[in-house]
Amino acid sequence: MNSPVYFTLTPSPLGKLLLTATPRGLSGLWLSGEKHCPDLAPEWQENPACFTTVTTQLEEYFRGTRQIFDLPLDASGTAFQQQAWAALQQIPYGTTLTYQQQATLMGRPAAVRATGTANGRNPLSIIVPCHRVIGANGSLTGYGGGLPAKQWLLSHEATTRSFRQ
């Protein structure tokens, strides 16, 4: 039997966020209109109380008083995607890496395109910071939530970087 999926919609400076969770942890965070944002499934159960810690940490992040999220995560993905998403979590707040640097960090320097594809399927945007990965020439390339959201997140982190958690 599949675990239940809980969901809530919560406001943010980037618009409404869809949050999903299983009993094991947060399984999704998508910006409204994000490319891979799922439709609400009829079997999902709306339960905002499941997301109190998540929404508190997101509010702290958007205020600039939180740089590291401390949440149980339960993202579904292939082994390679899981490896890419784990590497994303190693990128410090307020800094960026290129896709090449991320692939190298993963021990897969030739897998630059695959790394970018895995990042594009990241179901935990903001929490697993795929917005911190940029093109080799410093350009803002690809972001499921759109390039304006990516720019906003990077600018937000750059201006609040001096806070120490």
Asked if residue 5 lies in contact with residue 21, where contact means CB atoms within 8 angstroms, the answer is: yes
For β-strands 6-10 and 45-46, DSSP reports them as parallel
Contact partners, residue 138, CB within 8 Å, separation at least 6: none
Q: Which residue in the list 88, 130, 149, 154 is annotated as catalytic?
A: 130
With CA atoms as reference, report the closest residue to 24 among 64, 71, 74. Answer: 74
Q: How many Å apart are CA 20 and CA 110, to the nearest integer?
A: 33
Q: 50 an active-site residue?
A: no
* Residues labelled catalytic: 130
